[in-house]
C-alpha cells in the first residue's frame, strides 16, 4: 500500500522539477524513467495503478513509464522527457 504514497511523491517531484526548469516549463511529459534500487520493494503494477489516477488531466497523462534496476538504494525519478 505504500505505493500510493510513493506515487504521490513522484508526481509532486516531477511537477516541481518541470516548474523549476525553464527549458521544461509548460511542456507535456512524454516519458518518465524510474530507478528501482535495492531493496526492490516497490511493486510496479501497484505503483502504476496509483500514478495513473494522479496524472489524469495533467501534463503527465499519457507519458510512457519505464523502470530500470539500479544499484542505488530506493525508488527514484531517473529521467523526464518532454515534447519539443
For the chain, domains (ranges, CATH) are 2-82 (3.30.2320.50)
Q: Which pLDDT value is given to residue 1?
A: 57
Give CA–CA dist 42/29, Å, rounded: 22
Q: Which pLDDT value is given to residue 84?
A: 83
Kindly state the cell numbers that stand for 51. Answer: 500514478
- Cα 75 to chain centroid distance, Å, stands at 10
pTM: 0.88
Determine which helix (DSSP H) or strand (DSSP E) holds 66, and give its type and residue range. strand 64-73
Residue-level pLDDT, tens digit, the chain, 84 residues: 589 999 999 999 999 999 998 888 889 999 999 998 887 678 899 999 999 999 999 999 999 999 999 888 889 999 999 998
Amino acid at each position: 500500500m505504500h505505493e500510493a504514497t510513493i506515487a504521490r511523491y513522484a508526481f509532486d517531484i516531477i511537477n516541481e522539477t518541470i516548474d523549476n526548469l525553464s527549458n521544461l516549463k509548460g511542456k507535456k511529459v512524454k516519458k518518465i524513467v524510474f530507478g528501482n534500487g535495492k531493496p526492490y520493494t516497490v511493486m510496479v503494477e501497484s505503483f502504476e495503478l496509483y500514478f495513473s489516477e494522479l496524472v489524469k488531466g495533467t501534463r503527465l497523462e499519457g507519458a510512457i513509464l519505464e523502470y530500470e534496476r539500479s544499484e542505488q538504494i530506493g525508488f527514484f525519478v531517473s529521467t523526464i522527457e518532454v515534447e519539443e
